[in-house]
Amino acid sequence: MTGFADRHIGTGAHDQRHMLRAVGAGAVEELMADAVPEAIHESGAPAGLPVAASEQEVLERLHGLAAMNTVRTSMIGQGYYDTHTPAVIQRNVLENPAWYTAYTPYQPEISQGRLEALLNFQTMVIDLTGLGVAGASMLDEGTAAAEAMLLARRATKRGGPRSRFLVDADTFAQTKAVLRTRAAGVGIEIVETDLSAGVAPEQLDGVFGVLVQLPGASGRVPSRGALEELVAAVHERDALVVVAADLLASTLLASPGELGADVAVGTTQRFGVPMGFGGPHAGYLSVHPGLERQLPGRLVGVSRDADGAPALRLALQTREQHIRRERATSNICTAQVLLAVMASMYAVYHGPEGLRAIAEGVHAKACRLAYALREIGVSLAHEHVFDTLELVVPGRAEDVRRAALEENITVWVEDADRLRVSVDEASTDTDVADLLGAVARALGTTPGPLAPESPGSALPPDMVRTSPYLTHPVFSTYRSETAMMRYLRRLADKDYALDRGMIPLGSCTMKLNAATEMAAVTWPGFARIHPFAPAEDVAGYLRLVADLESWLGTATGYDAVTLQPNAGSQGELAGLLAIKGYLAARGEAERDVCLIPASAHGTNAASAVLAGLRVVVVGTDPSGNVDLEDLRGKVTEHGDRLACIMITYPSTHGVYEEDVREVCAAVHDAGGQVYIDGANLNALLGHARPGRFGGDVSHLNLHKTFCIPHGGGGPGVGPVAAREHLAPFLPGHPLAQTPQRADGAISSAAFGSPSILPISWAYMALMGGTGLRRATEAAVLAANYVAARLEEHYPVLYRGTSGRVAHECILDLRPLKAATGITVDDVAKRLIDYGFHAPTMSFPVAGTLMVEPTESEDLAELDRFCDAMIAIRAEADKVAAGTWPKDDNPLVHAPHTAECLTGEWTHPYTRAEAVYPVPGLVEGKYWAPVRRVDGAYGDRNLVCACPPVGNFEAAPAR
Ligand SMILES: Cc1ncc(COP(=O)(O)O)c(C=O)c1O
């Protein structure tokens, strides 16, 4: 019988023998012994990892875990609401590999579908918040608020140094918690104030920004007059106003933009994305025009392709941490694309009237409940509300909570005297009546029947929204399920994802995301759980979290693991803050220098700055290793100011550095800590453990090594693993169901993005320790095989001392450019014509391609890729030989669309050479929907919302 590992690993024993011959090794063990430095290489997978189980067994165990969670009617609210995911979206997006296995749309020509969905997301956010520019998703509401805080500080810099950020007391507890963590890192003082009665001038002294939540955590909706007064007072002091707005409420309430806000943040969870015990969900951030260059994260914009047709791509990328490194203003990289796509499609499917109807239904239920509660003598804290009521029940809140639980309903207990209930899209009349009955019973009264109709609106009259939204035709065209299904299919067809072929992106580990691993994500036992549900209701989740923490700790050789960070970048920040906390506790707070090799991923430097550290760059030697001499010099130079080093292992150069123990020792000897970026763990698992060869802390990317699909740019999970001495300084959360410190929250939810943890849990359970070790071997073999096959056509830039690469290899295209004029871009785009996603371009070395084949590709696909690269080299040689002119050849014109073949053909190469350069492509050819996209044009003419349909009509036929 074939075990799961044999399905996950693409190359079988026969293929591997062939590949070993090509790389000149007798056996995989020999290759690994050659490649991995002896000083760190372990002889077997660590004990303590699970024993491989079959797919059926793992599904059964996951069903068991889901059954240990109790699905109730959640009226807890506080930022998380039950919602109906339209089945057409669940099946065609969330459960569709064409959407979930795609990568971040850095190659726009093969990403037009998800870019369009993200443009819809941005347009939806722009319309509902009334602000001119929105990004393509944030990690969650809390981190979006933190990004807004940092944005406000940057944007108000000219007004002199100000370090206070005012936060309204009526803001979600988790948002306040994340703000406190992030503020402390960079010397901002959070001042929590009750702003319901306005703001006194002296309260604004030294303040650069103010955050208010709409509606408040207590459900309160302030009057427009009060909000406008607040905005005016804040603007008077040249400070910015951030409104954390509930987008469903915004369909009925004046938008943040109309109120004069500068920035809006929040979550789009209740737009069809399950609560999932806290995530993943797409956060959002929008700003008024003029602040767009300050936006963190990714921004989709409209540009044009080589034929002048409209084409989408990521805009203003020079803002991003990849480019700006330690000058970056945000470290966000992986975001929440798949969830943003879902939320945008929820808006596309329901349209403006549909969303309004849902919001009105929610509001009407809240009003009926409020009326009935008042009838039985319950006093409510606020007259003006949208969906949340705060019940004032002196000394009886706990009694009411228990009575509600008897009705299978969970509520939010604020304190002994007050509790809150939120109505949502999924609340039924029965739920509301049951809640009413429970309250009445707890208070010893009898309720009357719920009024069939709402007794009237509870929105402040001056806050009622009159402005239109979602007026673009995309929000009114796809109303029938047929139309919606076809729209989703049409967009997916434009894109290249793992379901079409190999995505050999170095540093990204685009491996198989197996169907069995994905299965549990949508089960109600995982999906319909509120993050603040009582501990007894989430036993299955807690067990799953504990298993995963333990397995990941074992696999990496660390003592403690937190799953809270919801991306690698957030893990980096959490790990660095743990180092800072530890040093401060030892009385060494003055240690603030973070050494980072020149080759590091941009997030490393950006995270260090956000943790309040000073980045000092360490050079690399000609072989790509950390330059030990430079390192020792920097260690001496910074002496007792040295906080830590941040290295990636194996390095981003794709090699196992021999000297890693020496690097770690040099820093430890000087009193510093060692952060090992674990994004490349796919080259180590089962063979070496960072916690055992010198690391004090690492983040892992579950969306790389542990099979969480990339979702077109997220979700991710970036757990942090640390040695014992750092464990007390890992993130805590004030609302966690397990004992942990209340501060240090790095994500809105205590366990980050738990609903996708079953994916990594399943992967580890299916593979077992032995399978994980084998996967690493297959990944390293595949990279060495590609290096061996391509070496003579493209030099492999770096190799370890044994001549081996690790799990990826860097192909140097600079000699090709010098000889032929053909650039990395040309090769990357030509690969599209050959039916491939390009490898990582120009990272970490400009003018190179970094190839990471992963263990999941089979030999045929690896060969197809190598053959394509070799054929492209031959094409480039024809250019050098003058057979094709430098400015008119299939490389510089790539990619070719079907449409570009239909007009007059004046090129010196044939149509067949353009699109069928190798015969195997005729069947199942992937056709790029646009020609090469002109990014600079779009940046000069910034359009980041759905353009009028007329723009497309005026474009060349397509
Ligand atoms: C080496 C390395 N470190 C850190 C990160 C950041 O991880 P994330 O994108 O999840 O924030 C990446 C992501 O590509 C990476 O390749």
pLDDT score of 954? 47
Q: Ligand 1 centre and the CA of 322: distance in Å?
A: 10
Using one digit for the tens of pLDDT, what is the confidence trace for 724-751?
A: 999 999 999 999 999 999 999 999 999 9
The closest residue, in CA terms, to atom 15 on ligand 1 is: 679
DSSP string, 707-761: ----TTT------EEE-GGGGGGS---TT-SS---SS---SSSTTSSGGGHHHHH
Q: What is the mean pLDDT of residues 529-553?
A: 98
The rounded distance, in Å, linking the Cα atoms of 281 and 82 is: 13
Which residue would you say has higher pLDDT here, 323 or 236?
A: 236
The closest residue, in CA terms, to atom 7 on ligand 1 is: 568
How sure is the predictor about 955, in pLDDT bands with cuts at 50, 70 and 90? low
Pocket perturbation via mutation, ligand 1, pick of 104, 337, 572, 601 by most ligand atoms within 8 A of CB: 601
Pocket perturbation via mutation, ligand 1, pick of 147, 332, 603 by most ligand atoms within 8 A of CB: 603
698 lines ligand 1 (CB under 6 A): no
- Residue 191 · residue 166 · CB < 8 Å: yes
Taking each helix axis from N to C terminus, what angle separates 859-880 and 757-790, rounded to the nearest 10 degrees? 50
239-180-548-757 Cα dihedral, nearest 10 degrees: -30
Phi, psi of 265 (to 5 degrees): -135, 165
- Residue 708 · residue 727 · CB < 8 Å: no
Whether residue 590 is predicted with pLDDT greater than 90 in this model: the reply is yes
**CA proximity to 810, closest of 790, 836, 833:** 790
Taking the alpha carbons of 531, 534, 539, 542 in that order, is the dihedral positive or negative? positive
Whether residue 615 is predicted with pLDDT greater than 80 in this model: the reply is yes
701 lines ligand 1 (CB under 6 A): yes
Amino acid identity for residue 440 in this structure: A
- SS3 at position 420: strand
Phi, psi of 596 (to 5 degrees): -135, 125
Whether residue 953 is predicted with pLDDT greater than 90 in this model: the reply is no
Strands 673-678 and 697-700: parallel
Long-range contacts of 235-238 (CB under 8 A, 24+ apart): 235/260, 237/204, 237/207, 238/156, 238/159
The rounded distance, in Å, linking the Cα atoms of 828 and 889 is: 15
The rounded distance, in Å, linking the Cα atoms of 676 and 345 is: 39
Residues 19-47 as b or e (16 or more Cβ within 10 Å = b): bbebbebeebeebbbbbbbeebebeebbe
Q: What is the mean pLDDT of residues 844-848?
A: 95
The rounded distance, in Å, linking the Cα atoms of 523 and 520 is: 5
- SS3 at position 133: strand
Whether residue 870 is predicted with pLDDT greater than 50 in this model: the reply is yes
Q: Ligand 1 centre and the CA of 498: distance in Å?
A: 19
The rounded distance, in Å, linking the Cα atoms of 160 and 793 is: 56
Can you tell me which atom of ligand 1 is nearest the CA of 677?
Answer: 3
How sure is the predictor about 631, in pLDDT bands with cuts at 50, 70 and 90? very high
Whether residue 192 is predicted with pLDDT greater than 50 in this model: the reply is yes
pLDDT score of 920? 83
What does DSSP assign to residue 320?
Answer: S
**CA proximity to 251, closest of 453, 468, 414:** 468
504 lines ligand 1 (CB under 6 A): no
Global pTM reads: 0.98
492-496-497-503 Cα dihedral, nearest 10 degrees: -170
The rounded distance, in Å, linking the Cα atoms of 123 and 301 is: 11
- Among the residue ranges 258-272, 321-335, 659-673, the one predicted with the least confidence is 321-335
* Gyration radius (Cα) of the chain, Å: 28
Q: Ligand 1 centre and the CA of 757: distance in Å?
A: 18
Pocket perturbation via mutation, ligand 1, pick of 138, 334, 854 by most ligand atoms within 8 A of CB: 334
Amino acid identity for residue 2 in this structure: T
- Among the residue ranges 283-292, 449-458, 942-951, the one predicted with the least confidence is 942-951
Q: Ligand 1 centre and the CA of 600: distance in Å?
A: 10
- Residue 138 · residue 282 · CB < 8 Å: yes
pLDDT score of 624? 84
Whether residue 359 is predicted with pLDDT greater than 80 in this model: the reply is yes
The closest residue, in CA terms, to atom 5 on ligand 1 is: 568
Q: How crowded is the C-beta side of 434, counted as CA atoms within 13 Å?
A: 21
pLDDT score of 957? 43
What tokens does 522 get?
């949508």
Pocket perturbation via mutation, ligand 1, pick of 507, 508, 596, 684 by most ligand atoms within 8 A of CB: 507
673 lines ligand 1 (CB under 6 A): no
**CA proximity to 219, closest of 254, 183, 171:** 171
Taking each helix axis from N to C terminus, what angle separates 13-23 and 757-790, rounded to the nearest 10 degrees? 40
651 lines ligand 1 (CB under 6 A): no
601 lines ligand 1 (CB under 6 A): yes
pLDDT score of 159? 72
Give residues with Cβ within 8 angstroms of 455, minimum separation 6: 367, 368, 371
Tokens 């990568």: give the residue: 103
From the number of C-beta atoms within 10 Å of its C-beta (0-12, 13-18, 19+), residue 327 rates as exposed
69 lines ligand 1 (CB under 6 A): no
Q: Ligand 1 centre and the CA of 596: distance in Å?
A: 15
635-637-638-640 Cα dihedral, nearest 10 degrees: 90
Phi, psi of 874 (to 5 degrees): -65, -35
* Omega cis (within 30) before 895: yes
How many Cβ atoms sit within 10 Å of the Cβ of residue 14?
9
Can you tell me which atom of ligand 1 is nearest the CA of 567?
Answer: 10
pLDDT score of 951? 64
The rounded distance, in Å, linking the Cα atoms of 391 and 375 is: 13
Whether residue 956 is predicted with pLDDT greater than 70 in this model: the reply is no
Q: What Å distances lie between residue 839 and 655, 842, 905, CA to CA?
A: 17, 9, 30
Tokens 């304190």: give the residue: 415
pLDDT score of 747? 98
The closest residue, in CA terms, to atom 6 on ligand 1 is: 568
What tokens does 884 get?
């094709």
Q: How far does CA 673 lie from the centroid of its chain?
A: 27
Amino acid identity for residue 8 in this structure: H
Using one digit for the tens of pLDDT, what is the confidence trace for 128-180?
A: 999 999 999 999 999 999 999 999 999 998 877 899 999 999 999 999 999 99
How many Cβ atoms sit within 10 Å of the Cβ of residue 57?
13
Using one digit for the tens of pLDDT, what is the confidence trace for 752-789?
A: 999 999 999 999 999 999 999 999 999 999 999 999 99
483-485-489-491 Cα dihedral, nearest 10 degrees: 60
- Residue 279 · residue 747 · CB < 8 Å: yes
Indicate the average pLDDT of the chain: 96
**CA proximity to 396, closest of 382, 416, 377:** 416
Strand spans (E) along 382-512: 388-392, 409-410, 412-415, 418-422
pLDDT score of 394? 98
Q: Tell me the longest C-alpha to C-alpha distance in the chain.
A: 93
Q: What is the mean pLDDT of residues 196-200?
A: 94
pLDDT score of 1? 55
Q: Ligand 1 centre and the CA of 171: distance in Å?
A: 31
How sure is the predictor about 958, in pLDDT bands with cuts at 50, 70 and 90? very low
73 lines ligand 1 (CB under 6 A): no
pLDDT score of 623? 84
Give residues with Cβ within 8 angstroms of 290, minimum separation 6: none
627-633-637-642 Cα dihedral, nearest 10 degrees: 40
